[in-house]
Each structure stands twice: as C-alpha cells, then as structure tokens.
C-alpha cells in the first residue's frame, strides 16, 4: 500500500535532522516519525554467531546500501547455489532524544528468504518469507541514550518449509535484503493501517468508507477521535470524524470506520486517465495530534462479469503479460526507479492494460507506478505448483493476509490470486485462502491460477494457464486466461526470422481467439521479460527465453504485436516481425509480417513500390488491428533498402526504413534517466545498441563494449559488455556523493559515445 503520510513523515524527519548525528531531539509534536535505514549497513557473506552481539567489531565487514543482493552474478550461465548461503547484515543507529515513551519498530519490505533479527544481542525472532513485509518491535531492548545494533541473519537457501519452496520452481529467488528498511516511531496507541473503500462510484453520490486500524499497545482511558480528509492535491474534498472509545490493550489492530458522504463529482480512475486522490487520517486527543498516516486511492468499479471484465461499467478486453521482478546481475535488488521503469515499459511501450505479478507480491514501487499509469494488476501469493505441509500452508495463508493488507488501497489491483500457481486442488487449504481474502477485502474478487480444466472453483474468477491452440472454451461464466505461448515457444533475439515471426503470430492468434468470445475476459501472455531459472528449466544457460522482451527489457518482435493493438490516437505503430535479410529463413525470405494499427501499408524496395497491403482479416478477423502479411515470392529478385509506409484513411502517418546493405553503421547508448540521487541505491538502465543507417537493430552484432565511469557512480553489469542480438544493457548506480558522472562506451569499430549524468545530493539518514 502506498503510505504517503508515512513517507512524508520520514522525509520531514530527515529534513529536521539533516546533518546531525542522530542524537537530535524529537520535535515537540504528535504523530509518527519514519526514518529510512537503507544506508550504513555492514555485510558479511559469512554469518558468524559473534556478529549477532552488540559489541562485535564489524569494521571489516563490507559497507552496503539497501536494496542489496548478497552476491552479484553474470546475466546467465551461473549456478544458483552461488547465492544460496546464510549471510549477516548489521546496522548501528542512535535514537533521537525524546523517543523514550514511544514505541519503535523496524519495518522490512522484503528479505530473501528467512530473516532472524537481533537487537543489541537479543534475538527478536525469525520471519519466514521473501516477498511479504514484516516488522519487529524494538522498544523493550533499546538503549535510548547510546548506540544500538541491529543484526539480521539472512538465510537465502531454498528452504522446504517456506513458500514457494519444497519442490522445483521455474524461477530464481536470489538473496539479500533486497527491499527497503525503515525505523518507525509511534505513540503507544497508533494507526496500524488504513483501508479506504470507494462506494457507489458510478452514481451521482459516491461515498468513501475508511477503515482505520488502531493498535492499542497500552490501555487507553481517554476518548480519542479519528479525523479523515479526502484531498485532490491540496484541495480538500471532504472531511469526517469518528470518536474512538476507551479500549484495553490488544494484540490485533481494531478497525474503526469513518464515512465520507456527499463527495460531489469525482473523476474516476480508468486506463486513459488514472486519477488518484489522497486520504489523510489523524488520530487526535482533543485537539492534540496523537498519530497520522495517509494513503493514495482511486475511485473505480472493477468487476469480472459474464460479459467479461468491466471497468466503471464498460467492458474492457484485457491484454497483458506476466512479469517476474528479477533483473540481470542484481537479482531482485533494484530500487524504485528501476521497478517503476518495468511498469512504464509494459504500459507505454508495449501498450498492455494488465500485468500479473507472477508468482508473488512485487515491489510497492512497481504497484505505485501501475496506479499512476493505468495498468491493471492481478497480484498473487508466492508459490509454483508445490503445496507443502500444514505449517507451510499456514505461512501461505499468512502471505495472503500480508499481501492484501499491504496493497488493498491500490486502484490498479483488480484481482487477488489466492492459489499456488498451477497447484493441485486442495479444498480445505483454498477454502481458507479464499475466505481470508474476502474477509479482508470484500471489494475485490479472487482468482487462483490453475493449469487443468476440471479444477475445483472456490474463487470468484476461473483463472487458468492454457498453452494449447486453439484455447479451451470457457467453462465458467467468469473466465480469464493467465498464461499462454511462453514455454511452448521460447524465442531469442538472435533466432532466425521464421522463429521470431512465428513467436509473434502465436501471440496474435491467441488474442484473436480471446477477442472472439466475450466470455473470455482477455489474457496475459507468458511473459513480459526473459528471466533466470534453475538448471532443469530454460535453454541450458539458466534463462527462460519466454518473454516478448529479453532479460535486458529490449523488445522482441512479439512485443510489437502487443504495442500494435493500441488506438492510433495514442500512438501510430508499425513494427515488422522480421529482419530485412535475404537468407534468414530456411527456404529464403518468403513471408514478412508487420504489426501495425494502420489500415494500409505500402512496401518499397530501393524506392520502387513492390506491394500494398491491408490487414490480414482472414486469419485475424477478431482483432481490431490484425497483422499485415506480405508474401515475398513474387518479389524475390527485388533487393535493396526497404521502406514501409503506414496509412490511416488514406493519410500517410508513419514511415520506417531498413537497410539492405548488411553493415553495422550506428552505435547508440541510451539511458532511461540522466538525473539520479546520491543515496547509494538510485539506479538507471543504460541500453547499448548497434544499428543500420536507419536505426534498425543489427541483430547479429555481438561486439564487446568497453565501459568507463568517471565520477560517483558504478556499473552494475559486465564490463566489457558483449552485445546479444545487437543490443543489451547495464545499469548505472549512484554512489553516496553528489556530482557529475560521465559514462564512456567504446565500440571496437564505431567509436566512443559519452553520456553525462547529474547526481543530486541526498538528505542524510537521521538514524
């Protein structure tokens, strides 16, 4: 859940203590303080028992910044055992003066896989799970006047007692404290969570119900009150309040509901205009502030019906991809900027309207970006085919709880996945997960990803992986296809045109069938990006080449099909599914497929018109924008530069050119961003490409690119980096000093390219 109030409080706290040693006083105001704890960690690959103690000398440990992977790896052909070890992280901190009398928690957003936490040598407990957040209370064991030491022993082995492990899984989990950490200081009675539920959003009188969960860590004899404000930016739309009666101490947070009526007209959250609002909650004792928090929401109605999926009362055919959150070299340890970029690629570059977080809850930064971009989400619990024993199932049920309570305010999330992906039926287990999801969040439907048609349906929506063609007919009124193509047709960027084209056509055929029947709510192809896997899956180099983009997020031709299905008002698309080369098919170049949302194409070779085409509606009659298929046999003697012109209603709107010379002509270095923050974690992708004179990638360029960095940043990736399919990427991570960075990339023939980055100063961490 995007908790903007918490984050704002943390930033204010950092600003208040900027440049101090951590012994500054807490301001004499109420409310919480949240401090980032991502810098100044000490790390050792060897977890010695002495490192759990307070006085252990960790000066020889490596100084690291969170997110952190326990080891950096090649992008392929490595052994997963290289990251499967037990490591230790240590963090020294001092509390601000005036903290005594408050409660102090450490919040971990994600640690892979099991975490045992000590404070000042005292064991606080173990958390089992790598994809869901957890916290430990530090209060009883803190030294409020001097140094404190957190020690986290991280077991990154594949333990059979923790989902998704216990059998084989087709992905890698990597290791380390790979999501952010924070120190949270709250009063004895505080706001534990907020769930804001829009109601009647399609009427003239939308409402908002806000469940405020209060945790009473000591008996309260006073009558408190909750004050809730709905805002559009700085503009207040509505306020409401609710008295909170005195309560005894309780271990479970108690919900108190505040209702906001008569909101007036609100802008609905939808795909084209994902409008967001803010909800601010204050806990008051009279006029004195006790605690405060906030969240971001959207007003929308999202339901699967017998007509398909409906958003705000209108049927939307779902068209998306499944996503693994792993990256080359760094595993899962990428910060917010990189996580958000994946959502931007899916929504803006590939024009998807839905993503599935296969097969686990993913970064809050990714989900925040989905909210902001209008990208729908199916989020599911960790797991892959295997169901463990009773204790394993209890952890899985707890994963449902933590996933939903973290993410229930995201308007982008439309379906909770409450089964283990492709697992066998288990009536009692899935009755529990489904019931818990409905209990926690009655506003959303549930699904469960299965791979066999006769599976028992306990959820609301029958969600199924179907890798056959043609697809099975829907056997339930609410029906969503959640995987197809993928592992049945792995495709690399260096494969020949026949395979690249067929890969594209298979995705097109599936979506054509999905469009043929309104009972198909749509589908999510397997998958967005190639990903690392175990030795018994993939292509023999620890990669599954199942994506419509490679592991560096560079698109294959199949990504062009997804992109071509957008409205021309959004973008004019023309994406060939072939290389312009005579001999790239086994029998010569005979068929050229182009994915486009134009209604007419013209093809020229050396400026001579060779063909005009309309979309292929004979095979793809259900698609709004079918592919174009050019049969080249009549033009086999024509060779030279290719020009394709795209027309809509007789007007030329796009032109693309491809060289017939077969020469590497251009070397490009393309950063996603050039402004970073000197927090030691901020990172951006830098794409390397070799192209012809018109900018088309030369797919067999495999040159080694030498990279040199001047200034406060480091390269995450191979150096030199050998291109794959004419392209590839490394990531540039800022260090903790502000300044200018120059990246020089040297191609052995095409010369050097230089990029300049500005690294802005980051506020120091206050503890």
Q: Tell me: the pLDDT tens digits for 65-124?
A: 999 999 999 999 999 999 999 999 999 999 998 889 899 999 999 999 999 999 999 999
CATH number at residue 383: 3.20.20.80
Q: Are residues 55 and 91 in the same domain?
A: yes
Chain segment 53-79, per-residue pLDDT in tens: 999 999 999 999 999 999 999 999 999
Q: How far apart are CA 504 and CA 47, in angstroms?
A: 48
- Active-site residue flag, 306: no
Query: Does any domain span residue 767?
Result: no
pLDDT attached to residue 250: 63
Helix (H) or strand (E) holding 93: strand 86-93
Say how many domains are in the chain: 5
Strand order in the sheet with 189-199: 189-199, 207-216, 254-260
For residue 603, give the CATH number of its domain.
2.60.40.10
Query: What is the token pair recorded at 275?
Result: 């409008």
Whether residue 642 has pLDDT greater than 70: yes
Question: What CATH number does the domain containing 69 carry?
Answer: 2.60.120.260
- Quote the Cα angle for 748-750-753, to 5°: 95
Q: Does residue 569 sit within a domain?
A: no
Residues 735, 694 share a domain: yes
Q: Find where tokens 């077991």 sit.
A: 155
Query: In this model, does residue 588 exceed pLDDT 80?
Result: no
Do 161 and 215 belong to one domain? Answer: no
Residues 541, 645: one domain?
no
Residue 26 has pLDDT above 70, yes or no: no
pLDDT, the chain, mean: 93
User: How far out from the chain centre does Cα 23 lie?
Assistant: 37
- Residue 399 domain-assigned? yes
One domain, residues 634 and 495: no
Same domain, 263 and 151: no
Domain assignment of residue 765, yes or no: no
Reported confidence tier of residue 538, pLDDT bands at 50, 70, 90: confident
For residue 260, give both structure tokens.
Answer: 């906001």
Alpha-carbon 614 to chain mean position: 37
With 70 as the cut, is the pLDDT of residue 577 above it?
A: yes
Asked if 105 and 239 sit in the same domain, the reply is: no
The Cα–Cα gap between 609 and 592 comes to 15
CA distances from 264 to 203, 448, 487 (A): 10, 37, 50
Domain stops at, among 276, 297, 318: 297
Residues sharing a CB contact under 8 Å with residue 333, sequence separation 6 or more, in sequence order: 67, 68, 69, 174, 176, 178
360 and 404 together in one domain = yes
Please tell me the predicted confidence (pLDDT) of residue 218.
66
Residue 602 and residue 749 in one domain: no
Mean pLDDT in residue range 684-700:
97
pLDDT of residue 18: 29
Residues 158 and 147 in one domain: yes
**Where among 535, 564, 593 does a domain terminate?**
564
Q: Domain end: 564, 586, 610, which one? A: 564
Kindly state the percentage of the chain with pLDDT values over 90: 88
Q: Characterize 435-466 residue by residue with b for buried, 16 or more Cβ atoms within 10 angstroms of its Cβ, and e for exposed.
A: ebbbebbeebbbbbbbbeeebebbbbbbbbbb
Pairing of strands 713-716, 751-760: unpaired
Query: Which listed residue (158, 372, 422, 645) is catalytic?
Result: 422
pLDDT in tens, 507-526: 999 999 999 999 999 999 99
| 361 and 385 co-located in one domain | yes
Could you tell me the pTM of the whole model? 0.94
Determine which one of 109, 153, 292, 483 is catalytic. Answer: 483
For residue 62, indicate whether it is catalytic.
no
pLDDT tens for 731-742 read 999 999 999 999
Q: What is the domain extent for residue 699?
A: 666-760
Instruction: Please compute the mean of the pLDDT values over residues 119-146 and round it to a whole number.
Output: 97
The model's pLDDT over 395-426, given as tens digits with 9 standing for 90+, comes to 999 999 999 999 999 999 999 999 999 999 99
Same domain, 138 and 173: yes
């Amino acid at each position: 859940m995007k908790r903007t109030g918490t984050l704002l409080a943390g930033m204010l706290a950092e600003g208040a203590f900027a440049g101090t040693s951590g012994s500054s006083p807490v301001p004499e105001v109420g409310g919480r303080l949240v401090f980032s704890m991502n810098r100044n960690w000490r790390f050792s690959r060897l977890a010695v028992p002495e490192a759990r103690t307070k006085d252990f000398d960790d000066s020889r440990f490596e100084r690291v910044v969170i997110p952190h992977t326990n080891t950096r790896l090649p992008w392929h052909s490595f052994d997963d055992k290289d990251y499967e070890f037990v490591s230790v992280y240590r963090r020294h901190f001092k509390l601000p003066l005036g903290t005594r009398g408050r409660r102090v928690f450490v919040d971990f957003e994600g640690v892979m896989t099991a975490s045992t936490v000590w404070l000042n040598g005292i064991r606080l407990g173990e958390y089992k799970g790598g994809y869901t957040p957890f916290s430990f209370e530090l209060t009883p064991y803190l030294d409020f006047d001097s140094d404190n030491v957190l020690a986290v022993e991280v077991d990154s082995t594949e333990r059979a007692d923790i989902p998704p492990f216990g059998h084989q899984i087709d992905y890698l989990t990597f290791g380390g404290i790979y999501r952010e950490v924070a120190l949270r200081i709250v009063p004895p009675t505080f706001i534990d969570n907020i769930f804001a539920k829009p109601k009647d959003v399609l009427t003239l009188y939308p409402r908002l119900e806000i469940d405020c969960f209060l945790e009473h860590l000591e008996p309260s004899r006073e009558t408190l009150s909750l004050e809730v404000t709905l805002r559009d930016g700085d503009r207040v739309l509505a306020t409401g309040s609710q008295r909170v009666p005195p309560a005894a101490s309780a271990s479970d947070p108690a919900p108190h509901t505040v209702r906001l009526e008569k909101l007036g007209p609100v802008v609905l959250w939808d795909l084209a205009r994902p409008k967001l609002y803010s909800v601010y909650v204050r806990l008051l004792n009279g006029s004195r502030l006790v605690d405060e928090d906030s969240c971001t929401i959207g007003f929308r109605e999202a339901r699967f019906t017998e007509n398909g999926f409906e958003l705000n009362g209108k049927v939307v055919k779902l068209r998306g991809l499944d996503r693994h959150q792993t990256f080359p070299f760094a595993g899962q340890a990428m910060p917010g900027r990189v996580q958000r970029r994946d959502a931007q690629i899916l929504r803006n570059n590939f024009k998807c309207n839905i993503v599935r977080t296969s097969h686990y809850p993913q970064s809050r930064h990714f989900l925040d970006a989905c909210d902001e971009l209008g990208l729908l989400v199916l989020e599911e619990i960790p797991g892959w085919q295997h169901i463990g024993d009773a204790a394993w199932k209890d952890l899985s049920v707890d994963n449902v709880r933590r996933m939903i309570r973290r993410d229930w305010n995201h308007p982008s999330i439309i379906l909770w996945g409450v089964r283990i992906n492709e697992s066998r039926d288990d009536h009692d287990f899935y009755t529990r997960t489904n019931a818990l999801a409905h209990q926690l969040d009655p506003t959303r439907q549930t699904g469960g990803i299965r791979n066999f048609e006769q599976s028992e349906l306990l959820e609301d929506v029958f969600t199924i992986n179907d890798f056959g063609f043609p697809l099975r007919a829907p056997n339930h009124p609410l029906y969503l296809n959640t995987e197809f193509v993928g592992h049945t047709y792995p495709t690399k960027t260096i494969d020949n045109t026949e395979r690249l084209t067929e890969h594209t056509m298979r995705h097109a055929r599936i979506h054509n069938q999905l469009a043929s029947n309104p009972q198909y709510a749509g589908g999510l192809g397997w998958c967005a990006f190639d990903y690392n896997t175990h030795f018994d899956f993939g292509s023999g180099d620890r990669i599954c080449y199942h994506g419509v983009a490679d592991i560096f997020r560079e698109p294959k031709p199949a990504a062009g099909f997804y992109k071509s299905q957008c409205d021309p008002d959004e973008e004019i698309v023309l994406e060939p599914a072939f290389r312009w080369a005579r001999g790239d098919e086994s029998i010569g170049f005979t068929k050229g497929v182009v994915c486009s949302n134009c209604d007419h194409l013209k093809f020229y070779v050396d400026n001579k018109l060779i063909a005009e085409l309309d979309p292929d509606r004979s095979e793809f009659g259900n698609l709004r924008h079918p592919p174009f298929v050019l049969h080249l046999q009549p033009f086999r003697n024509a060779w030279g530069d290719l020009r394709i012109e795209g027309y809509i209603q007789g007007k030329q709107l796009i032109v693309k050119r491809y060289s017939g010379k077969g020469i590497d002509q251009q070397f490009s270095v393309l950063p996603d961003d050039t402004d970073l923050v000197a927090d030691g974690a901020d990172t951006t992708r830098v794409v390397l490409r070799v192209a012809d004179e018109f900018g088309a990638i030369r797919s067999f360029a495999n040159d080694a690119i030498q990279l040199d960095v001047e200034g406060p940043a480091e390269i995450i990736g191979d150096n030199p980096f050998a291109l794959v399919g004419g392209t590839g990427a490394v990531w540039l991570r800022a260090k903790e000093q502000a300044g200018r960075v120059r990246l020089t990339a040297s191609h052995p023939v095409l010369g050097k390219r230089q990029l300049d980055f500005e690294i802005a100063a980051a506020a120091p961490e206050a503890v």
